[in-house]
Structure formats: structure tokens, C-alpha cells
Amino acid sequence: MLPAVLFAGLMLLCSIGLLIHRRGPAEPDVEFSICIACRNEAPNLPRLFTALDALNYPKEHFEIIIVDDASTDNSPHLLEDFCARHPNASWYRIQEKDSEYRGKKAALKQAVEAARFEYLALTDADCAPPANWLLELAPLFSAKTGMVTGTVQERPQTWFSRIMYIANGGIYGATIGLGMPFSCAGGNLAIRAKAYHDVGGYHSFRHNLSGDDKQMLLAIHRAGWKIAFNRATPVLTQPTSGKKRSSQLSRRYGKFHLSSLPFQILQLVIFAFLCYLPVAMIYGNWLPAAIYSLSVLLFWGVILACLHRTFRLTDIIFVPLFPYAMVWFTIAGYCKPGRWNP
């Protein structure tokens, strides 16, 4: 009984954290450099270009920088054509994969080095930012804010991807609200250039294959900068399937070693509790499972309300089961990390 009650207390604490929405006086005249790393994304680039064309922000107050990371498909030609038609857009090409700055860090590093503005808006080449993306990010930067993170959602989506992305956003927002950021979505974030340079950019974790978004978040937080959470419209991302999907989930959840010690301990305790629940049910003690399900659904309701999402009846069944999927992919990702686009 006690483990279930403690878990319910954790869910209540997370709900409070998500409800906390800190915002200081906004910085005036926020200008953005949109930085995007691209590798073999030719099928997704037209969708990205359409979204960038539709951004509702003064053209003179943002620029677009896309770095092609040694693509072997038609991406360079598409990037060249797009930038030729947009005076505020530029692109660069890395001829060979960087062996030092692994994953997409070499491309993002080059994009940041080319940036003219103080605020760096980062998304992925397979994403489509909403029209008000920059308008929603700008007010969240106060004088002490080093980073703003947001949510991502797949379109089209399955029941699993819907729960996964909403749950991730809820966890990210809750821990940021509590002042203990856990992670973030690399497809929807913005960084103050001074904060980026204060932590040495990607240099300290350049050899890590993945997790650059999480490591940047934690580094900026340790440097004393505040982190803000953007609850508004999510950035849309293209769904993956098959082996690529498995690799993506491994990268997302296989970051146990990147977490701080308190979060590592907490994850191990939650893992032990999730193992305990079915054992208790086998021996006829269903009360812990009932408390667990109700507390998870309570937190889920707060997430849906804060992120402006809708409730579905199937959530009653699938949401309490989702943490078990997270545990599975965490173990799988830790044992066999994913990789950046081949």
C-alpha cells in the first residue's frame, strides 16, 4: 500500500509542477535564427518549407539556416532552390560526416556559428512548426531565461504515438515547473545564444551519439539560466515505422545515463514499483494497482488540460499501461542506442 500512496504523491507533485507557469517580463524585439540540421530528408523537406513559409512573424526579425549533414539524396538541391527564393534563408553543406561531433551536433554547431540573431529556434527537418511558433516562443524569454522548450506531436498519429508525445510533453513541463528539468523535445526548442556559448555549445558532449537536446537543457540549467515551457501549439513531426521507429524510440528513452543521479534513482524506484504491481495483483491485492491507475489518470487529465488536448475513452485503458512501454524502450535504448540518419 505504501509504495502506491508514494507514487500517487509523485503524480500529484507532477500535476502541481505542470500547473506552475512561470513567466517574467518578456524581452523586447526578440529576433530568431531558425537552425535546422538535415540529413537525407528529401521526402520531408517540402512539408518543412511550407511550414516555414507560413510563419506568422516579421520577415526582418528572423532568418532560416539549414545545414545539410552529408546527405546522399536530393536534399541539397531542394535546399538550394528554397534558399534561392527566400532572402532570409541560407544553407550550408557538410561534405563528410564529422567523426568528432556525432549525430546532428556538427550540423547544428555550424548553423549556430552562422546565426546573426541572439535567439536560436531549433527544429528538425522532418518537422512542421505551427504558424505562430515564433510568436509563442518570443514572450517566454525573460532576462534570465536561457532556453524555452515545447511539445511535439506526430501527424498522422497512432493511439500509441498520441499518448507518447502528450505524456512526454507533460513530464517535460512538470519537471520544468518544479525547477528540476528532466528532458525536452529537440524538434521544438529555443536557446539564447549567450546561454549556448556560456556552456561551450555542444563541445562537452560532442562524442555522444544522441541526447544533444537533453544535455544542452541540463547544461544551461546548471549554468544558472532559467528554463521555460511553451504549452502552446505543438510542432508536428512525420511518423516513422519499422526499424527506424525502433531506433527513434531507443534514442528517445535510452538516455538513462544522461540523467542526474536523483532522476536515475527515481527511475529505478518507479521501475521496481511497476514490477511490484502485477505481483501484488497475482496475490489478490488489487488496491495498489487501483491507486496507481487513478493517480496516473489524474496526472493525464492535468496534462490534457494544460496542453489543450482532448480526452478519449480509450485513455482509461492505455494510459496506465504506457509507463510499461516507456520502461521497455528505456532498457532497449540503453542496451542498443539508436543512431542519426544513415
Residues 9 and 44 in one domain: no
Question: Which residues, including other chains, have CB under 8 Å from residue 215's CB and lie 6 or more apart?
Answer: 204, 205, 208, 258
Is 122 part of any domain? Answer: yes
Instruction: Look at residue 227 and tell me if it is in a domain.
Output: yes
Q: Do 116 and 97 share a structural domain?
A: yes
Res 339: pLDDT? 53
Q: In the block, which residue shows the cell 562524442?
A: 207
Q: Which of 242, 270, 291 is the last residue of a domain?
A: 242
CA distance 325 to 328: 5
Last residue of a domain, one of 242, 276, 301: 242
Residue 150 covered by a domain:
yes
DSSP per-residue string spanning 20-76:
-----PPPSS--EEEEEEESS-TTTHHHHHHHHHT--S-GGGEEEEEEEES-SSSHH
Q: Are residues 91 and 212 in the same domain?
A: yes
Residue 251 lies in a domain: no
Predicted pLDDT of residue 252: 62
What is the count of structural domains for the chain? Answer: 2
Beta bridge mates, 122: 35, 189
Neighbouring residues of 112: CB distance < 8 A, sequence distance ≥ 6: 33, 35, 120, 193, 196, 201
Assigned domain for 231 exists? yes
197 and 269 share a domain?
no
| 238: containing domain | 22-242
124 and 86 within one domain? yes
Residues 270 and 133 in one domain: no
Q: Are residues 14 and 39 in the same domain?
A: no
Both 56 and 104 in one domain: the answer is yes
The C-alpha atoms of residue 223 and residue 337 are separated, in whole angstroms, by: 28
User: The pTM is what?
Assistant: 0.89
Are 279 and 141 found together in one domain?
Answer: no
Q: Where among 189, 217, 242 does a domain terminate?
A: 242
Do 154 and 291 have their domain in common?
no
Report the Cα 75 to chain-centroid distance in Å: 24
Q: Is position 250 within any domain?
A: no
pLDDT in tens, the chain (342 residues): 788 999 999 999 999 999 987 666 777 789 999 999 999 999 999 999 999 999 999 999 999 999 999 999 999 999 999 999 999 999 999 988 777 777 788 999 999 999 999 999 999 999 999 999 999 999 999 999 999 999 999 988 888 889 999 999 999 999 999 999 999 999 999 999 999 999 999 888 887 766 789 999 999 999 999 999 999 989 999 887 666 666 666 566 666 677 788 888 998 899 999 999 999 999 999 999 999 999 999 999 999 999 999 999 999 999 999 999 888 777 766 666 555 465
302 domain residue, yes or no = yes
Which domain CATH number covers 180?
3.90.550.10
User: Can you tell me whether residue 190 is helix, strand or coil?
Assistant: strand
Torsion of the alpha carbons at 260, 264, 270 and 275, rounded to the nearest 10:
160
Residues 283 and 139 in one domain: no
On whether the CB atoms of residues 17 and 173 are closer than 8 A, the answer is yes
- Residue 247 is assigned to a structural domain of this protein: no
- The CB-based long-range contact list for 105-110 (8 Å cut-off, 24+ gap) reads 105/202, 105/205, 105/206, 105/212, 106/69, 107/37, 107/38, 107/39, 107/67, 107/68, 107/69, 108/35, 108/37, 108/67, 108/202, 108/212, 109/201, 109/202, 110/67
Q: Write down the pLDDT at residue 208.
A: 76
Q: How far is Cα 2 from Cα 245, in angstroms, rounded to an integer? A: 37
On whether both 321 and 180 belong to a single domain, the answer is no
